[in-house]
């Protein structure tokens, strides 16, 4: 992953890392981005547009034909959280859901939606009601899981805790991140235990009932031909010479430009592009592949990079191109792939996974709705 886009774990919201988010997919609107875009964001390189480098990590990998499924976003004007009651819901048995839990979960949901590329909804009454519905659903499903004998081991919980802690550079940073979000390590551990318990419940009690046939996948494919298109793509590689940032770096910027121009001249004289990229490129996401960025459609790179790349002929070198990341030398290595429709055989697995995911969400939501209809639940917002 490129150092230019990787977000250190100690900057991530803890609630986002811990969120029991399975049900949220059905309750909140997403951005409608494609799986290809999500996969691309996992393998960045400094050519990318908003986060440096949404270039596919595997050269030649077939892009996903599936688009996201936007829902209806929460509506209404923002409200002051101070207006919310101290107890926002009561469940049978005397369980209470307090305002603090609602606000913490809301914060985590907003972070998740923003991370998925969507627009975080405003904290309206409708938004808080949806968050509360999610908490209630989680509580009821956890109770059902325990009633059916679903358990998780302390060892599995410890593995999750240790894994989360390892994402932070040291214990002090970890504790500071917890404190900044009003979370203790004990609460974090319980959140992780609940997450594992829900996952085990879904895998053991729900997934066995979910079936997706080839006929269903083919019907989805036939009915969504507009989502099965992949745009024109170009196989690109580049060498990046990073430039220093900030005031007083003019000399360093000029040195970076001079180095990039020198590398381009060496390629023009016959030296191997891939070897020079491996030895000199400052893009850790592509240098070990000889600078190869894979197949890229338009819109996946910063404008200066794209403008130069789309003007190239096969094997032609670009002039030295400056972007916010530094100076690039770009080459197109194969003839462009024209716009096409992904064959069903290539799309089948992704379609089945998407349909299986949706069917599982529907089954979990249906079970939560049934449990709520049987339970005594009072809400106060």
**CATH number, domain with residue 101:** 1.10.4030.10
Residue 10: CB partners within 8 Å, gap ≥ 6? Answer: 167, 168, 169, 173, 174, 177
Query: Would you say residue 354 lies in a domain?
Result: yes
d(CA 126, CA 25): 16
Query: Would you say residue 55 lies in a domain?
Result: no
Domain check: are 207 and 84 in the same one?
yes
Please list the pLDDT of the chain residue by residue as tens digits (381 residues): 333 333 344 434 444 444 444 444 444 433 333 333 333 333 334 454 433 333 333 333 333 334 333 345 666 788 899 999 999 999 988 899 999 999 988 887 887 777 666 677 788 999 999 999 999 999 999 999 999 999 999 999 999 999 989 989 899 998 888 887 677 889 889 989 999 999 999 999 998 989 999 999 999 999 999 899 989 999 999 999 999 887 888 899 999 999 999 999 999 999 999 999 999 999 999 999 999 999 999 999 999 999 999 999 999 999 999 999 999 999 999 999 999 999 999 999 999 999 999 999 999 999 999 999 999 999 999
Domain check: are 264 and 370 in the same one?
no
d(CA 59, CA 294): 4
**CATH number, domain with residue 261:** 3.10.50.40
Closest C-alpha among 141, 143, 136 to residue 101? 136
Instruction: Please say whether the beta carbons of 49 and 304 come within 8 A.
Output: no
Q: Which residues pair with 262 in a beta bridge?
A: none
Domain check: are 89 and 185 in the same one?
yes
Q: Where are the alpha helices (DSSP H) in the chain?
A: 14-18, 24-27, 35-41, 99-115, 125-147, 154-165, 171-180, 185-201, 214-223, 250-268, 273-280, 303-309, 344-374
Domain check: are 72 and 169 in the same one?
yes
Question: How far lies 126's CA from each of 78, 106, 108, 238, in Å?
Answer: 9, 12, 17, 48
Number of domains in the chain: 2
Model's pTM, two decimal places? 0.62
Domain check: are 261 and 323 in the same one?
yes
> The tokens of 175 are what?
């504790």
pLDDT attached to residue 76: 77
d(CA 358, CA 210): 10
d(CA 66, CA 82): 41
Evaluate the CA torsion angle 99, 101, 102, 104 in order and state its sign: positive
Query: Would you say residue 314 lies in a domain?
Result: yes
Domain check: are 180 and 271 in the same one?
no
Q: What one-character-per-residue DSSP string does 146-213 give?
A: HHTT----HHHHHHHHHHHHTTSSSHHHHHHHHHHTT--HHHHHHHHHHHHHHHHHIIIIIGGG----
Query: Would you say residue 248 lies in a domain?
Result: yes
Q: What is the DSSP letter of 244?
A: -
- Provide the CB-side half-sphere exposure for 308 (13 A, CA): 21
Closest C-alpha among 19, 11, 25 to residue 188? 19
Going edge to edge, which strands form the sheet with 326-332? 292-297, 233-242, 326-332, 321-323
pLDDT attached to residue 187: 86
The boundaries of the domain holding residue 324 are 232-332
Query: Would you say residue 113 lies in a domain?
Result: yes
């Amino acid at each position: 992953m490129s150092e230019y886009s990787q977000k250190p774990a100690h900057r991530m919201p803890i609630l986002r890392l811990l969120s029991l988010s399975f049900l949220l997919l059905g309750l909140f609107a997403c951005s409608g981005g494609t799986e290809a875009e999500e996969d691309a964001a996992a393998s960045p390189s400094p050519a990318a547009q908003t986060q440096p480098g949404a270039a596919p990590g595997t050269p030649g990998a077939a892009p996903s034909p599936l688009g996201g499924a936007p829902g209806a976003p929460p509506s209404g004007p923002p409200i002051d959280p101070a207006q919310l009651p101290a107890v926002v819901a009561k469940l049978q048995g005397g369980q209470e859901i307090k305002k603090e839990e609602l606000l913490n979960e809301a914060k985590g949901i907003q972070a998740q939606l923003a991370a998925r590329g969507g627009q975080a909804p405003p904290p309206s009454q409708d938004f808080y009601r949806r968050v509360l519905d999610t908490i209630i659903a989680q509580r009821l499903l956890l109770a059902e899981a325990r009633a059916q004998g679903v358990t998780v081991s302390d060892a599995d919980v410890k593995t999750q805790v240790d894994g989360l802690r390892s994402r932070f550079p040291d214990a002090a940073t970890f504790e500071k991140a917890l404190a900044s979000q009003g979370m203790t390590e004990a609460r974090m551990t319980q959140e992780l235990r609940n997450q594992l318990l829900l996952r085990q419940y879904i895998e053991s009690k729900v997934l066995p009932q979910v079936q997706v046939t080839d006929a269903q996948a083919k019907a989805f494919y036939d009915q969504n031909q507009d989502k099965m298109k992949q745009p024109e793509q170009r196989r690109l590689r580049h060498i990046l010479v990073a430039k220093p940032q900030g005031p007083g770096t003019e000399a360093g910027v000029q040195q970076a430009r001079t180095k990039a121009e020198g590398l381009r001249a060496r390629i023009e004289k016959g030296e191997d592009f891939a070897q020079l990229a491996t030895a000199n490129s400052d893009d850790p996401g592509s240098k070990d592949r000889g600078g190869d960025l894979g197949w890229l459609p338009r819109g996946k790179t910063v404008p200066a990079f794209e403008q130069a790349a789309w003007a190239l002929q096969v094997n032609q070198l670009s002039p030295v191109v400056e972007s916010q990341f530094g100076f690039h030398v770009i080459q197109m290595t194969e003839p462009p792939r024209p716009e096409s429709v992904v064959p069903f055989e290539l799309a089948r697995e992704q379609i089945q996974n998407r349909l299986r995911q949706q069917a599982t969400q529907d089954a979990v939501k249906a079970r939560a709705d049934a449990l709520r209809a049987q339970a005594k639940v009072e809400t106060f917002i």
